[in-house]
Amino acid sequence: MTDAAVAEVTVAEPREGGVREEERSLASDAWRALRGNPVFWVSAVLIAVFTLMAIWPSLFTNTDPREAILAESRSRPGDGTWFGRDIQGYDIYARCIYGARASILVGVMTTAMAVAIGGGIGMISGYLGGAWDATFSRIGDIFFSIPLLLGAIIFLSSLPEFFNDNYFLVIMKVVLALAFLGWPSLARLMRSSVIQVKPNDYVQAARALGASPSRIIRSHILPNSLAPLIVVATISLGGYIAVEATLSFLGIGLQPPAISWGIDISAAIVGLRTTPHMLFFPSLFLSLAVLGFILMGDAVRDALDPKTR
């Protein structure tokens, strides 16, 4: 009932509001909401820093992360280096900086691939319905029933050796595994939001005008059903980074000489009691990166969801 009361007030709002401000698209409204949200700025700064780290690590450190000074193995933070050195004598600070590249690459590429596959399949099953929907939904359910971590382990261990040849192939193999198992949740989401948008009168009006299916999808369904996908994709980007670290930790994701937070965390386990800083710094970077994307997803959701405004 109180919703009704507020609605009664807010319905009246745009009437004159529009006179003052021309061209208020929903995207610009979303940006307006984001701009005033401190969570957005915190997460944006975090993501920007990590992205910069991934693209241009030498901006942050001049030390070579593969320069092992065994003599200074396990030295503590402050003894000549910021974060100390690990068991191999690598500079932990430099390792953390260089580790960002693998994480960001895996996160971004997995998300892009999962969004493309999941979004496309979700769109097809939501828009066409019927047998297409049934088929794709069942296929999605099958993938959905495979636990992500277990599935990834099996997938990765079954890949041919050739994938371990160079850095990009190693990254790609993790990306493939995660995208292969991650698309169903995005497809489900896309499907349900397409099904919500499809019966709207503006879609019917376009049909009545004789618009082609591709036009209906492009200008009516896609722009109105994309918001949940963007939100969940942003949040799961953080999740993929965490899973990549987990796989690397278990020794089946990235492998040395690749540099990854997961690998470093795994290597630090031996000194958990004696040299906790070896574990602490890569874990901190990992957590901050995951947190950045999750917070960003939350902020974007608040901005895109008109109900919270």
3-class secondary structure, 151: helix
Burial of 304 (0-12, 13-18, 19+ CB in 10 A): buried
210 near another protein, rule: CB under 8 A: yes
Q: Which of 284, 242, 255 is nearest to 83 (CA)?
A: 284
Cβ at position 228, least distance to another protein in Å:
15
Number of residues near another protein (by CB under 8 A): 40
15 near another protein, rule: CB under 8 A: yes
For another protein, the closer CB: 127 or 249: 127
CA distance 165 to 57: 23
46-81 exposure pattern, b = at least 16 Cβ within 10 A, e = fewer: bbeebbebbeebeebbebebeebeeeeebbeeeeeb
131 near another protein, rule: CB under 8 A: no
Find the binder of another protein among 138, 162, 208, 273 (CB under 8 A): 208
Find the binder of another protein among 80, 202, 257, 272 (CB under 8 A): 202
Stretch that binds another protein, among 46-54, 207-215, 253-261, 292-300 (CB under 8 A): 207-215
Cis peptide bond N-terminal to 257, omega within 30: yes
Q: What are phi and psi of 169, to 5 degrees?
A: -65, -35
Cβ at position 216, least distance to another protein in Å:
10
Cβ at position 225, least distance to another protein in Å:
10
Residues that bind another protein (CB under 8 A): 1-2, 4-6, 8-19, 22-26, 200-202, 204-212, 215, 219-220, 223-224, 309
